[in-house]
Structure 1
């Protein structure tokens, strides 16, 4: 898909209306994970619709990949985040993103932190954001990715800022190893930040981890109507899964690499139910472009 094209006037109007909209102030919490009895409930519309971002309790991370989200979504996610982090080369990407905005659209908040081993960030860019007030946090440890290290840095401030979710802007690009590294960070974060949820958002997809147990996912109707794709990936190994509401449902289906993997599925209903005995990667197509 190609990135949504905006005229400058339409872009500025859209961004400012999203950021200032009084409707946004009535919304509740980012992709909320509410416990109803023994079921974990997910409402992804809260993340993909800019009008829903206002009162979300999330930290936003920009990783070192191109930023291909719709600009209105990117700007709204940035402005409404409780904490903003540029991760190593993502610092260069963010500065380029800002330069590509119309003048009126550049009035975005400054990052709180720039972190990484700084092997892929331009020194002038680092200094630019230092002068803007960002805290520069070197993370030289080579045993973990810059993404994982950036998530670890969030641990002390989660309670202070009442952050319940972490959202990372990333793209698939040409580095499959980076994709796998980002997925590994989802797993690691689930262990050392047990009460905080981590998500990967990109130009066309939204991805997160389903823990063992029962889950419900409320899918926006336009994604159902347009039969957007969704996937259940058993990246933890053999997984027994039962679903309700998908076009191709599973009944105690055994998912495992080398056997069955439920990719390119789609929806029969807005309301999905997923029961899994192991960690399961959920990914879904989200944005449309004119």
Structure 2
């Protein structure tokens, strides 16, 4: 099937298919429909360019504890001394064991609420998601549900990465869209069923993968990949589709999975 024909076929509305579009990662895309998004910034390294991109497409911004240090350290000195509200989050929340004193003082001077939550049964990420859920209560609700973008969470300590994988695997039950973004890739959970992912080759690829994390196994069928799968069983004990590739000229990837699975795709470095 040629690229043009596949594009025509897969852009039909189908209520049985979940559509995914991460064009918010492309700063030059001015035609993306407005979507209410909440940004949660974790305490891991990221670039100023990526912070700018994600900050600008989100209407609510939250730093998870030491994530505020990361943002603060990227603010130019002249901007810190101005009245500019860029990089001023709506909330800083966590157990606050990582938040530096100079960062705390700066954001207090900017009027940012700083909430210490010492609940040992929840991580800083979970505490920030709880704050988004509070915003979605009927008395505060301005949107049906925020899309959540998590900056960080797939690098650094392995236990923290596994927590991110586990938490979003469970979060899929209550949230329609939640993404994890680093300078290297974007990833999210595809629940069981059929999915159609719009591919912007200016920002995505070429490498991608389907990771059966959190399930014993799943049955996968795909189109739009260099090495497609047809009714293939995937598990950590068997086949794992890593280092797969997007196909130039193909603008959709479709995935049919019998169980939830992680999809990840590389971000273009330029």
| Counterpart in the other structure of 2:3 | none
Moved more, 116-125 or 199-208: 116-125
Give the aligned partner of residue 177 of structure 1.
Answer: 159
- 1:276 counterpart = 2:263: no
* Structure with a larger share of its residues in helix: 1
Separation in 1 of the partners of 2:225 and 2:103?
46
What 5-or-longer segments of structure 2 have no aligned partner?
Answer: 1-11
Shift of 1:49: 3.5
- Structure 2 CA distance for partners of 1:104 and 1:139, relative to 1, 3 Å: closer
1:258 and 2:240 matched? no
The 8 Å contact of residues 153 and 164 in structure 2, kept in 1 or not, is answered as: no
Give the 3 Å change call, closer, same or farther, for CA 182–100 of structure 1 in structure 2: farther
Shift of 1:109: 4.9
Contact kept, 8 Å, 1:166 with 1:196, in 2: the verdict is no
What corresponds to 2:170 in structure 1?
188
SS class of match (1:129): helix
What CA distance in whole angstroms lies between the structure 2 residues aligned with 1:275 and 1:178?
29
In structure 1, how many angstroms separate the alpha carbons of the residues matched to 2:149 and 2:43? 14
d(CA) in 2 for partners of 1:105, 1:45: 31
How many aligned residue pairs are there? 250
Distance 2:172 2:78 in 1: 35
| Match of residue 21, structure 2, among 43, 46, 60 | 43
Moved over 4 A (4+): 100-106
Aligned to 2:228: 249
Distance 1:61 1:256 in 2: 30
Q: Which residue is 1:96 aligned to? A: 73
TM-score (norm 2): 0.83
CA distance in 1, matches of 2:15, 2:70: 43
User: Aligned runs of 1:209-220 on 2, under 5 Å?
Assistant: 209-220=189-200
Shift of residue 286 of structure 1? Answer: 1.4
What is the CA–CA distance in structure 2 between the aligned matches of 1:44 and 1:36, rounded to whole Å? 19
Q: Deviations over 1:189-237 (max 9, x none)?
A: 223xx2442110110200111010000111113467xx61000000022
**Residue aligning to 1:24:** none
- Asked if residue 145 in structure 1 is aligned to residue 123 in structure 2, the reply is yes
Structure 2 vs 1, CA of residues 161 and 114 (structure 1 numbering), >3 Å: closer, same or farther? Answer: farther
Distance 1:199 1:104, change over 3 A: farther
Cα distance in 2 for residues equivalent to 1:105 and 1:267: 44
User: CA-to-partner distance for each residue in 1:19-59, whole Å, 9 max, x for gaps?
Assistant: xxxxxxxxxxxxxxx97320011112233445457833100
Structure 1: unaligned runs, 5 residues or longer? 1-33
The answer for the alignment partner of 1:117 in structure 2 is: 95
- Per the alignment, residue 228 of structure 1 pairs with 206
